[in-house]
Amino acid sequence: MAAAANLLEFDKVSVEFDAGVPVLDQISFSVPEGQTRIIMGAAGSGKTVLLKTAMGLNRACAGRISLLGEDITEKPENQLFDIRARVGMLFQDSALFDSMTVAQNVAYPLLNQKSIQIPRDKMEEKVRESLRFVELEQALTKYPSELSGGMRRRAAIARAVVTGPPLLLYDSPTAGLDPITAHTIMALIIKERDMDNTTALVVTHRYQDGNLVANFRYNPDSGTLDPAGERATNTVFMVLREGRLVFEGTQTELEACSDSYVGKFVKKPEYAA
Amino acid sequence: MLASGFVLEFLKGPTLALQEFYLLTGRAMRNVTRQPHYTDDIKLQMDSIGVGSIPIVLLTGFFSGAVMALQMGRALQQYGQTGRTGTVVSIILVRELGPVLTALMVAGRNASGIASELGSMKVTEQIDAMRALGTDPIQKLVTPRMIATGVMLPCLTVIDDFVGMVGGWIIGKLLYDLDALQYWSQTWHALVWSDVVQGLLKPFVYSFVISLIGCFYGLRASGGTQGVGRATTQAMVAASVTILILNLFMGLIFVKYSGN
Ligand SMILES: Nc1ncnc2c1ncn2[C@@H]1O[C@H](COP(=O)(O)OP(=O)(O)OP(=O)(O)O)[C@@H](O)[C@H]1O
Ligand SMILES: [Mg+2]
């Protein structure tokens, strides 16, 4: 079998905001189709910058980035829109448009992505479908300021997946949420992966999140998460430290890693099936 | 050596900022002729910048016209020329006070409003989200504001001029017993074409100062709510000062080339 195509490739990518202070330092990795990559690292280690750079929202000062098979390193902004249309992104603070209702937020990519042509009458159905996916259909006409943090996160996920992108970037989907809501959000991410076979990058502080993604599958019949068993998932862990990639490997390798910084992110899973 | 290095370092920030401002201006202008046009956003901004500013423009116009008639009438009284009040009020309002006061009021209201709105969007990543979801923030946010201000500010200035003349007439009537017909025919006949051109061209130019400076500081905001506050203040101060400086230069140009 031929190796699956890489949806995202970083080749010695460095990012600097102030000259001489690299926020990302020579990062290289590639994400093949179907993989879920868990990115961990302390606050300020460059996780958000990494995701934004992958989308071309930040510019790299060295190295090359290829997104969905296209080299985006030096592409001008107006040529990036068509590529970005095929990538969904959940921003760290949701970044919902606060002057629009939840429904308008979710409809936004459908209305504005030039490469996505959806007839007007199908629009509402699409929006509803996406909000049903995150179980937020009742909040259609609410404004983001009227939602709780967890609901906002879910609305933002609905907005990210509404166009059915093959690649998803989730920035800290569970940060600042209680364990139950965090579990719900992770379940959504796993559901998205297993229903639509999407590839994803998931930034998180919590090891349980990674553990869940690596070892559980969504069961469409019961709507719950079941242990993956022999239907093993393609999950890779990656740890950033001050802009450098200090670990990349499977969960087993991560748990065996002797580095003390990396070790701090590994905890015994708190919840089982 | 050390001093010149220090000066260069000191000038680097403003120079870079100016360069960025020119870039933003260029892109916003270029977008006027490009698809897609966000007509809904333009209408929304026309409403908020234009219609929303009417009360403050009415007040400014009325009181500035009234106070001008008050002082001019008194000054002209010394020469027995109170009857010329209408002429003076009209010329000063249309050429200078109308454009500059309206622009300053709208700058206070909208340059800061735009900066805080775009600034909040910037610090909450909504601008990045826009880019990620297929819209160019300059096309979607800056150009509509620029067009809306460009259309509305000249209109507001005309309103301000007219209300100022009404204010002047009321004072003239009450204090100097001016004849209504005489006053209004004077205000009309005092104006020549160059005054009207000047009176409309100035607000058109200032509209770009207001919208673009507001957007510029908003899009540059960083550092949470405090950064938004800073951007708001900076936008208002920069827009007001720029308007006052431009006002002198445009006045000089008109005096030189129109001969009065
Ligand atoms: N726009 C920017 N301008 C300047 N510096 C920036 C910018 N964005 C991020 N940085 C810097 O880059 C570094 C990495 O930031 P980043 O937001 O990627 O951290 P993070 O790993 O996402 O942290 P957290 O877990 O807190 O979200 C930080 O030191 C930050 O100060
Ligand atoms: Mg972050």
pLDDT tops 60 at residue A162? yes
Tell me the C-alpha distance between B12 and A250, whole Å: 48
Q: Which residues are bridge partners to A227 per DSSP? A: A216
Of B203, B212, B204, which is closest to residue B144 (Cα–Cα)?
Answer: B212
Q: Which of A24-38, A181-195, A225-239, B137-151 has the lowest mean pLDDT?
A: A225-239
pLDDT band at A57 (very low <50, low <70, confident <90, very high): very high
Residues 6+ apart with CB under 8 A from B120: B126, B221, B228
Are the beta carbons of B126 and A78 separated by less than 8 Å?
A: no
- Average pLDDT of the residues in A245-251: 92
Tokens standing for residue B5: 């290095």
pTM above 0.90, yes or no: no
Pocket of ligand 1, candidates A14, A21, A48, A205: which has the most ligand atoms within 8 Å of its Cβ, to mutate? A48
Mean pLDDT over B15-36 rounds to 88
Residue nearest (by alpha carbon) to ligand 1 atom 25: A43
| For range B214-231, the mean pLDDT | 93
Q: How large is the average pLDDT for residues B200-226?
A: 94
CA distance A122 to A140: 16
pLDDT greater than 80 at residue B2: no
Burial class (CB in 10 A: 0-12, 13-18, 19+), B236: buried
- How far apart are the CA of A47 and the centre of ligand 1, in A? 8
- Alpha-carbon distances, residue B177 vs A217, B73, B77, B172, B188 (angstroms): 89, 10, 12, 6, 19
Cis peptide before B36 (omega within 30 of 0): yes
The confidence score (pLDDT) of residue A135 equals: 87
Please give the residue that has the higher pLDDT: either B12 or B148. B148
Q: What is the mean pLDDT of chain A?
A: 89
Q: Write B27-30 long-range contacts (CB < 8 A, 24+).
A: B27/B138, B27/B142, B28/B138, B28/B142, B28/B143, B28/B146, B28/B212, B28/B215, B29/B146
If DSSP codes are grouped into helix, strand and coil, which group holds residue A34?
A: coil
Record: contact A97-B129, CB cut-off 8 A: yes
Q: Decide if B120 contacts B141 (C-beta within 8 A).
A: no
Assign B141 a pLDDT band (cuts: 50, 70, 90): very high
DSSP, collapsed to helix, strand or coil, labels residue A60 as coil
Please report the pLDDT score of residue B259 as a whole number: 65
Closest residue in A to B124 (Cα–Cα): A95
Segment A152-169 shows an average pLDDT of 93
Do strands A87-90 and A70-71 pair parallel, antiparallel, or not at all (unpaired)?
A: unpaired
Query: What distances in angstroms separate CA A38 from CA A130, B35, B230, one per listed residue?
Result: 24, 39, 37
Residue A200 Cα to chain centre, angstroms:
5
User: A230 pLDDT exceeds 90?
Assistant: no
Separation of CA A1 from chain center: 27
* Ligand closest in space to the Cα of A47: 1
Residue A77 near chain B (CB below 8 Å): yes
pLDDT of res. B1: 59
Name which of A77, A78, A109 is nearest B133 (Cβ-Cβ): A109
d(CA A165, CA A85): 7
pLDDT, tens digit (0-9, with 9 covering 90-100), for B87-135? 999 999 999 999 999 999 999 999 999 999 999 999 999 999 999 998 9
Tokens read off for B86 = 């209408």
ipTM exceeding 0.90, yes/no: no
Residues of B within 8 A of A77 (CB-CB) are 131, 136
Q: Give, for A24, the enclosing helix (H) or strand (E).
A: strand A21-32
Does pLDDT of A272 surpass 70?
no
Give mean pLDDT, residues A180-203: 91
Distance CA B84, CA B71 (A): 13
| Separation of alpha carbons B239 and B210, rounded Å | 6
| CA B166 – CA B184 distance, rounded (Å) | 9
Farthest-apart Cα atoms in chain B, separation: 70
pLDDT of B169 reads 94
Distance linking the first and last C-alpha atoms of chain B: 50
At residue A2, the pLDDT reads: 45
Question: In chain A, which residues have their Cβ closer than 8 Å to the Cβ of B132?
Answer: 55, 57, 84, 87, 89, 91
Please tell me the residue having the least CA distance from ligand 1 atom 20. A44
Radius of gyration in angstroms for the set of CA atoms belonging to chain A, rounded to a whole number: 18
pLDDT of res. B37: 85
Per-chain residues with Cβ under 5 A from ion ligand 2: A 48, 92
Evaluate if residue A196 carries a pLDDT over 50.
Answer: yes
B171-201 burial by CB neighbour count: b if 16+ within 10 A, else e?
A: bbeeebebeeeebbebbeebbeebbeebbbb
Strands A36-41 and A62-67: unpaired
Q: What is the pLDDT of residue B45?
A: 95
Rounded Cα gap, residues A103 and A137, in angstroms: 9
- Classified as helix, coil or strand, A211 is helix
Res. A269: pLDDT tops 90: no
Q: For tokens 């450098």, name the residue.
A: A244
Question: How many Cα atoms occupy the beta-carbon half-sphere of A108 within 13 Å?
Answer: 26
Q: Is the confidence at residue B3, as pLDDT, over 80? A: no
Percent pLDDT > 70 in chain A is 96
pLDDT recorded at residue A1: 40
pLDDT exceeds cutoff 90 at A177: no
Closest-CA residue, ligand 1 atom 22, reads A48
pLDDT in tens, A67-123: 999 999 999 988 899 899 999 999 998 899 999 999 999 999 998 887 777 888 888
Residue A89 in contact with partner chain B when CB distance is under 8 A = yes
What is the distance in A from the centroid of ligand 1 to the CA of B175? 66
Domain ranges of chain B: 39-258
Share of chain B above pLDDT 90, in %: 71
Would you state the pLDDT for residue B215?
96
Shortest distance between the Cα of A128 and any Cα of chain B, in A, equals 18
Nearest CA to ligand 1 atom 12: A23
> A207-216, A226-235, B31-40, B171-180: which has the minimum mean pLDDT?
A226-235
Touching check for B47 and chain A: CB below 8 Å?
no
The Cα–Cα gap between A73 and B8 comes to 32
DSSP string, B120-140: HHHHTTHHHHHHHTT--HIII
**Range name among A175-189, B3-17, B160-174 with the lowest pLDDT average:** B3-17
* Superfamily of A6-86+166-263 according to CATH: P-loop containing nucleotide triphosphate hydrolases (3.40.50.300)
Q: Residue ranges of the alpha helices (H) in A33-169?
A: 47-54, 77-84, 102-112, 120-133, 149-161
What ranges do the domains of chain A cover? 6-86+166-263, 102-163
Mean pLDDT of A32-60: 93
Task: Please state, in angstroms and rounded to a whole number, the distance separating the CA atoms of residues A96 and B101.
Answer: 38
Query: Which residues have CB under 6 Å of ligand 1?
Result: A 17, 23, 41, 43-49, 92, 172
Q: What is the mean pLDDT of residues B12-29?
A: 88
Q: Is A3's pLDDT higher than 80? A: no
